[in-house]
């Protein structure tokens, strides 16, 4: 049975272009006019040997009386009712727009797995947009160019991983623990004027970036190669990515309100919360209490996230940042052995069996595996996963987090129909 994959996103991000490429026929109309393609198109698609049914939602948003976000939601909702996976496209050249954010945060509330796809990634013009997309909270964006056909290998891998189909056989799993190649990519995100550029300068000890009191003075994303105690770090300064905003210098707003708003979408990246300008805080324990309180209510997804208070200006406590980053990075990359996962699954299910489905059928969860890390993504196979209530999903998630020490990192749990995939193959 081939999976069904829905291509979603706001108008003009390249959904039809991608659909055409995957289906291999010039079936949908492509145009610069937003919303020119009118009908929902479906076709048999493939990337190499990966075959699936593709649904193009381009044009669905092109309807009547409601607001655009409401239309996109309603129409896409219908399209993804039977979907196994959603590819959420955004235009990396245009960057992340409020409509993309709206769409992403809605999709995150559904139980269908989502792969975030950065389209129009040919050339460097797309780079800032790609980094910015981490703020959507959907993990690593997969860079492609639908028009030029690049990145299809990465898309292949991401789709397979999200569908839970590419876990290595259990006996080989422990062998894939190699250190990820390349530098650790560390993006410094936050509202304009919180001190991102000052912090990077202070960390690398070099006045390489322009800092100043005006919001958004550094215009482009700048990557700084940095050698930190023998480890290669690619520091990305995202100052200037967000459009100029009127920022009050009032400290409460900078340290709590604005910063939290800036990161509330970021729950699928490994997160370290750096609270800057701590030198200006008079009552530090009261400020910390407020912050902890706000974190609990605003970011429950990353319970246990590291909070580091610093002053980029005076240099105080900057030493604490990188150890917290490495800790978060380690959890982000963690792989839980399949045997341990299945012991855990048997245990949680025994302690609290899933409730009966509406038609009084039993929901059985049979097998768990971790098809990918970054972020830790788990697949749990069972007979009627679609009937599992959200409260039970949260129970599974929290228990996984506790059991395998995944504090401070968002994890994903995809529920899949089926039995142990390895037994089926044998
Ligand atoms: P849709 O509304 O999301 O279906 O978007 P379309 O597929 O109609 O594409 C919108 C515009 O983006 C068209 O002008 C396409 O040629 C262009 N486009 C699509 N993919 C790419 C790409 O990979 N790179 C660039 N530069 N343009 C693209
Ligand atoms: P960015 O827009 O986030 O890159 O912010 P900048 O690095 O340009 O800093 C904005 C302003 O905040 C500048 O005037 C900095 O001197 C000031 N600033 C940055 N870090 C600190 C800090 O730790 N303490 C204080 N008091 N001011 C800071």
- Kindly indicate the confidence band of residue 59, based on its pLDDT and cuts at 50, 70 and 90: low
Distance 32 CA to ligand 1 centre (A): 7
pLDDT value, residue 91: 96
Rg (CA), the chain: 22
- Kindly indicate the confidence band of residue 64, based on its pLDDT and cuts at 50, 70 and 90: very low
| The residue to which tokens 């997309």 are assigned | 133
Q: Which of 59-73, 234-248, 256-270, 391-405 has the highest mean pLDDT?
A: 391-405
Distance in Å from the first CA to the final CA of the chain: 18
Structure tokens given for 127: 């780079």
Smallest-distance ligand from the CA of 21: 1
| The residue to which tokens 């399209």 are assigned | 79
Which stretch of 93-97, 180-184, 278-282, 317-321 has the lowest confidence by average pLDDT? Answer: 180-184
7 or 27: which leads in pLDDT: 7
pLDDT value, residue 175: 39
Three-state DSSP at 419 gives: coil
Q: Read off the pTM.
A: 0.55
Q: Whose CA is nearest to atom 24 of ligand 1?
A: 120
Which stretch of 19-28, 41-50, 58-67, 227-236 has the lowest confidence by average pLDDT? Answer: 58-67
pLDDT digits (tens, 9 = 90+) for 77-99: 777 777 889 999 999 999 999 88
- Kindly indicate the confidence band of residue 212, based on its pLDDT and cuts at 50, 70 and 90: low
Is the backbone peptide bond immediately before 375 cis, with ω within 30 degrees of 0? yes
Structure tokens given for 97: 């727009």
pLDDT value, residue 170: 41
Q: Is the pLDDT of residue 285 over 90?
A: yes
Q: Is the CB of 145 under 6 A from ligand 1?
A: yes
Q: Is the pLDDT of residue 309 over 90?
A: yes
Q: Is the CB of 32 under 6 A from ligand 1?
A: yes
Which stretch of 49-63, 309-323, 384-398 has the lowest confidence by average pLDDT? Answer: 49-63
Q: Classify residue 164 by its DSSP letter.
A: T
Q: Is the CB of 277 under 6 A from ligand 2?
A: yes
Beta bridge mates, 185 = 234
Q: Is the CB of 57 under 6 A from ligand 1?
A: no
Q: What backbone torsions phi and psi does residue 378 show, to the nearest 5 degrees?
A: -115, 145
Atom number, ligand 2, closest to the C-alpha of residue 311:
23
pLDDT value, residue 113: 87
pLDDT value, residue 229: 86
The answer to whether the CB of 341 falls within 8 A of the CB of 368 is yes
Smallest-distance ligand from the CA of 93: 1
The answer to whether the CB of 67 falls within 8 A of the CB of 73 is no
pLDDT value, residue 346: 95
pLDDT digits (tens, 9 = 90+) for 364-421: 898 998 988 877 889 898 888 778 888 898 899 889 988 998 877 778 888 887 665 5
The answer to whether the CB of 295 falls within 8 A of the CB of 275 is no
d(Cα 370, Cα 244) in Å, to the nearest integer? 41
174 or 119: which leads in pLDDT: 119
380: which residues sit within 8 A by CB, 6+ positions away? 345, 365, 367, 368, 396, 413, 414, 415, 416
Q: Is the pLDDT of residue 341 over 90?
A: yes
- Kindly indicate the confidence band of residue 217, based on its pLDDT and cuts at 50, 70 and 90: very low
- Ligand 2, pocket-test mutation among 195, 240, 245, 253, most atoms within 8 A of CB: 195
The answer to whether the CB of 308 falls within 8 A of the CB of 299 is no
Structure tokens given for 60: 């669905």
The answer to whether the CB of 425 falls within 8 A of the CB of 167 is no
Q: Is the CB of 16 under 6 A from ligand 2?
A: no
pLDDT value, residue 400: 92
Cβ burial 11-43 (10 Å sphere, 16+ → b, else e): bbbbbbbbbbbbbeeeebebeeeebbbeeebbb
pLDDT value, residue 347: 95
Q: Is the pLDDT of residue 186 over 90?
A: no
Summary mean pLDDT of the chain: 76
Angle formed by the axes of helices 98-108 and 68-80, to 10°? 40
Distance 139 CA to ligand 2 centre (A): 28
pLDDT value, residue 67: 66
Distance 68 CA to ligand 1 centre (A): 19
Q: Is the CB of 197 under 6 A from ligand 2?
A: yes
d(Cα 111, Cα 385) in Å, to the nearest integer? 10
Which stretch of 163-172, 182-191, 254-263 has the lowest confidence by average pLDDT? Answer: 254-263
d(Cα 249, Cα 257) in Å, to the nearest integer? 12
């Amino acid at each position: 049975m081939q999976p069904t994959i829905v291509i979603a996103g706001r108008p003009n991000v390249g959904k039809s272009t991608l659909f055409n490429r995957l289906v291999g026929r010039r079936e949908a109309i492509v145009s610069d006019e937003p919303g020119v393609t009118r009908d929902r198109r479906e076709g048999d698609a493939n990337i190499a040997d990966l075959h699936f049914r593709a649904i193009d939602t381009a044009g669905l948003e092109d309807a009547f009386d409601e607001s655009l976000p409401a239309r996109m939601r309603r129409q896409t909702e219908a399209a993804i009712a039977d979907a196994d996976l959603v590819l959420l496209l955004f235009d990396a050249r245009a960057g992340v727009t409020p409509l993309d954010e709206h769409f992403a945060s809605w999709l995150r509330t559904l139980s269908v797995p989502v792969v975030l796809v950065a389209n129009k990634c040919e050339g460097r013009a797309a780079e800032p947009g790609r980094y910015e997309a981490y703020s959507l909270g959907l993990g690593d964006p997969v860079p492609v160019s639908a028009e030029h056909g690049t990145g299809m290998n990465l898309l292949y891998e991401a789709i397979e991983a999200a569908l839970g189909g590419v876990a290595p056989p259990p006996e080989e799993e422990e062998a894939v623990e190699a250190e990820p190649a390349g530098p650790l990519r560390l993006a410094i995100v936050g509202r304009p004027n919180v001190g991102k550029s000052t912090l990077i300068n202070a960390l690398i000890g070099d006045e390489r970036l322009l800092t100043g009191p005006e919001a958004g003075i550094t215009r482009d994303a700048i990557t700084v190669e940095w050698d930190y105690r023998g480890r290669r770090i690619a520091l990305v300064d995202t100052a200037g990515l967000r459009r100029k905003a009127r920022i009050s210098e009032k400290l409460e707003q900078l340290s709590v309100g604005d910063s939290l708003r800036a990161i509330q979408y970021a729950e699928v990246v490994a997160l370290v919360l750096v609270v800057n300008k701590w030198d200006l805080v008079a009552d530090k324990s009261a400020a910390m209490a407020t912050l902890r309180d706000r974190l609990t209510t605003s970011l429950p997804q990353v319970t246990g996230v590291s909070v580091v208070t610093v002053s980029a200006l005076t240099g105080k406590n900057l030493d604490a940042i990188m150890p917290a980053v490495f800790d978060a990075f380690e959890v982000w990359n963690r792989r839980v052995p399949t045997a341990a996962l299945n012991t855990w699954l048997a245990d949680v299910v025994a302690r609290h069996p899933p409730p009966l489905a509406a038609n009084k059928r039993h929901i059985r969860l049979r097998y768990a595996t971790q098809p990918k890390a970054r972020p830790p993504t788990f697949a749990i196979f069972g007979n009627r996963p679609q009937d599992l209530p959200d409260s039970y999903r949260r129970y599974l998630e929290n228990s996984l987090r506790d059991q395998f020490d995944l504090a401070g990192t968002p994890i994903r749990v995809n529920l899949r129909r089926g039995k142990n995939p390895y037994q089926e193959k044998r």
